[in-house]
Structure 1
Amino acid sequence: MRLRTDIFVSALLRRVFAKGGFAAVEAKGADEAGAVFIRQHFRDGLETLYGPAPQSFFDEETTGARLFEQRLTRKEPDRIREMLERERKFDPDLWIIELEAEDLGDIVPLVDERQNPL
């Protein structure tokens, strides 16, 4: 069973703050099952966008876990915003979280691209 999105986001924000970073909810989606997108801001003004990993990355061991993949890496904020606007047209219930942290380390669970089954 997957953790409710509002609880997952709350825990994510707490982890960021505990590591000395900053986080904010830019857009609040569905409390129960909204998709989560993460904008990582860097000091040089660029951003990286993380989105939900495709279902093909999930198996019995990760059932209930939320995994993310990098969608755009170190791009201009306008490019990130455009992609998020397209995503929002497709899914108006999504969440957008902004993080200011140089290294996400163990804060955001990422898929291992080397294990991509496709």
Structure 2
Amino acid sequence: MPEPRLAAGFWVQAYLRRLSLHDIPAFVTAHGDDTAGAALIKLNTLDGQARAYTRMFDLATGAQIWTELTGGEEAEVDAAIARQRSFDSDLWVIEVEDRQGRHLLDEDGLS
């Protein structure tokens, strides 16, 4: 039986709260569908560089895992995110700002 999925809006609020507990600033830059929207995380390291992460289905394990969609110059990452939003209007985009490159996506409970 498939694992139950959290509503997207609930997951986003929990993620933002967890980041705030670590004093990592984060902002919703695109509000997706509250129930079924997917989340895309932009990690801005505040040095002109950024990375975007999306959750994918791992065929080997059956788990949802975070993978890097793209990385590099912030403008290039923003363009890739805009392309994703152009064909998925339900997509949430959360921008995380951390010079150390922390996003917490590898912590328990965020997959």
Distance of 1:48 and 1:57 partners within structure 2: 25
Task: Give the TM-score, by structure 2 length.
Answer: 0.82
Match of 2:73 in 1: 76
Q: 1:33 to 1:58 in 2, by over 3 A?
A: farther
> Does residue 53 of the first structure (1) align with residue 56 of the second (2)?
yes
Task: Give the TM-score, by structure 1 length.
Answer: 0.77
Match of 2:47 in 1: 44
> Does residue 29 of the first structure (1) align with residue 39 of the second (2)?
no
Q: How many residues align?
A: 103
* Structure 2: runs of 5+ lacking an equivalent: none
- 1:73-112 maps to which residues of 2 (within 5 A)? 73=71, 75-101=72-98, 102-104=100-102, 107-109=104-106
What is the Cα deviation at residue 22 of structure 1?
A: 0.1
What is the Cα deviation at residue 36 of structure 1?
A: 0.5
Distance of 2:101 and 2:74 partners within structure 1: 18
Q: What value does the CA root-mean-square deviation take over the aligned residues?
A: 1.9
Identity, in percent, stands at 29
| Structure showing the higher strand proportion among its residues | 2
| Structure showing the higher helix proportion among its residues | 1
> Does residue 4 of the first structure (1) align with residue 1 of the second (2)?
no
